[in-house]
Amino acid sequence: MSEAGARIYGLSKSRVTAFEQCPRRLWLAVHRPDAAVHDSGAEARFATGHEVGEIACRLLPEGVMIEADPDLGAALDATTAHLESGARTPLFEATFQHDGVLVRVDVLEPSGGAAWRMVEVKSSIRVKDYHLGDLATQVWVARETGLQIAEAAVRHIDADFVLQREGDFSGLFADTDCLDVIEPIVAGRSAVVREARDVLAGEEPERETGDHCSSPFPCEFRAWCDRNAPPGPEWPVTVLPRGGGKRWLAEGLADLGDVPLDRLSNAMEQRVWRATMSGETWHDVQGARRAMAGWTWPRAWLDFETIGPAAPRWVGTRPYQQVPFQFSLHVEEEGGAVEHHEFLSLDGLDPRRACAEALVALTPTTGAVIAYNASFERSRITELAATFHDLAASLEAIADRIVDLLPVTRANWYHRDQRGSWSIKAVLPTIAPELDYAALAVKDGGQAQEAYLEATSGRATPERGQALRHGLLKYCRRDTEAMVVLARRLARLN
Ligand code: SF4
């Protein structure tokens, strides 16, 4: 819901949630909103929530929207008027206020008798803990205004939904009834709100940063809270891969150099420790050569870019299904010659058939197909094979030949500047710095998805459309080019 109407020290469900994550976060949101730094994914998450909310409304054509026009006071009045009229139609954004807490309810549906069913719409595929808090705040406020709430549910995406007809989202949602679970939270809401208001009336609360700063949401005040923190160690224990640093933090050790080598539990951690402390890169050339020796020629280096909307766009796709709209393919002959192929669909139509055809046409029928973190590429090809039966044999033959460069890199290369990561963007600057992503217009998968959405929105000018196309092509090409160079340098072939 909009925060526009929450007066100073007034609260909303999201502010109560912020308080429960961290009192300091709520205080800063109200008193120092200028200190917030929003992460790059916030806008995309908001857009997804908005789209899913609109679909939930469209699925109830008899529903009435409570407009906040000209302000939330008007929404409060319109809600009261509608409820007093006795009309038993669903309401969207019904607005209630109690004890300075103002909530707008996604959907209010008639239940038995005079009672109502409160529905919180979410774009996730399951109920999360903080959804329960959101719902409880709303149930508490609505009940305190005299509304009878007999049911309360989170309406989330049904992961099994498959779009059968374009734009027909009946069945997209599943309701999980939560009233019994949230009753204890509802009972405690009054006290929580009082505590939140006390915090707001005081000075900025003291609160150390910690795990709570990223759950349930990445906190937008992290930079503010860290501004006076002493600089941490140059090589903290958190560079140990796969969360290996947590154990040492729990023992009070933050600096990797303070951790005795012989207490590290596996060879990978010991390798990271040695490379970090000595500054010498771990590079097992023979190991890399052995690992890749069985990769037959010609080698086809493959990378997909995908889009996975919460509400499926194309018939036959599921929520969040990763649909490939682009791939880059470098084909490398044993003698060293390399040829580049690519596919990109920006017409907004279902890209899968054209992608599958291009993949079959452009991928050699023999030789290894190489990806980085290959389970992703293999899954996309297997999905295409399951969809297009006439291409299934060719696609499965490609999937069967896929091998993975990531474990080869992980086993045979570590430079301390990777700081515990073997993502290709962490490895590349340490082994092929000339292939930097920083100069590219599209720098990562998230930006590629944003570019795809903008290019297919119908709102981009022809010039902008061309720029987006160009940026996407360069980015995906860089991914496969990087793999070719990385493999050669791992095996010290150039
Ligand atoms: S960064 Fe952490 S400590 Fe600071 S306000 Fe946010 S959640 Fe609280």
* pLDDT tens column, 388-399: 999 999 999 999
Q: How far is the CA of 348 from the centre of ligand 1 (A)?
A: 40
DSSP per-residue letters across 114-133: T-EEEEEE-SSSS--HHHHH
Helical ranges in 415-455 per DSSP H: 424-431, 445-455
Question: In ligand 1, which atom is closest to the CA atom of 225?
Answer: 4
Element (H, E) at 109: strand 101-110
* Residue 467 CB neighbour total at 10 angstroms: 16
The residue-averaged pLDDT of 420-426 equals: 95
Confidence tier at 3 by pLDDT (50, 70, 90): very low
The residue-averaged pLDDT of 370-388 equals: 98
Q: How far is the CA of 236 from the centre of ligand 1 (A)?
A: 21
| Cα separation, 4 vs 330, whole angstroms | 51
25 lines ligand 1 (CB under 6 A): yes
| Poorest-pLDDT segment among 37-51, 204-218, 279-293, 429-443 | 37-51
- Structural domains for the chain: 3-201 (3.90.320), 237-279 (no CATH), 281-494 (3.30.420.10)
19 lines ligand 1 (CB under 6 A): no
207 lines ligand 1 (CB under 6 A): yes
Tell me what the pLDDT averaged over the chain comes to: 94
Quick one: what percent of the chain has pLDDT higher than 70? 98
29 lines ligand 1 (CB under 6 A): no
| Poorest-pLDDT segment among 96-105, 294-303, 437-446 | 437-446
Could you tell me which of 104, 109, 106, 89 has the C-alpha nearest to residue 156? 106
Confidence tier at 41 by pLDDT (50, 70, 90): confident
The residue-averaged pLDDT of 110-125 equals: 95
Q: What is the pLDDT of residues 235-260, one digit of tens each?
A: 999 999 998 999 999 999 999 999 99
pLDDT score for 494 = 66
CA dihedral angle for residue 337, residue 340, residue 341, residue 347, rounded to 10 degrees = 180
Main-chain phi, psi angles of 148, to 5 degrees = -90, 115
221 lines ligand 1 (CB under 6 A): yes
Can you point out the beta strands (E) in 293-451? 299-307, 323-332, 338-344, 369-371, 402-404, 413-414
What is the pTM (predicted TM-score) of this model?
0.89
Question: In ligand 1, which atom is closest to the CA atom of 222?
Answer: 1
Answer whether 92's CB lies under 8 Å from 109's CB.
no
Greater model confidence, 439 or 291 = 291
Q: What is the pLDDT of residues 181-226, one digit of tens each?
A: 999 999 999 999 999 999 999 999 999 998 899 988 899 999 999 9
249: tokens are 């933090």
Q: What is the C-alpha end-to-end distance of the chain, expressed in Å?
A: 57
CA 462, chain centre distance (Å): 29
363: tokens are 């991928």
* Residue 113 CB neighbour total at 10 angstroms: 8
Say which residue the tokens 């649909």 belong to. 323
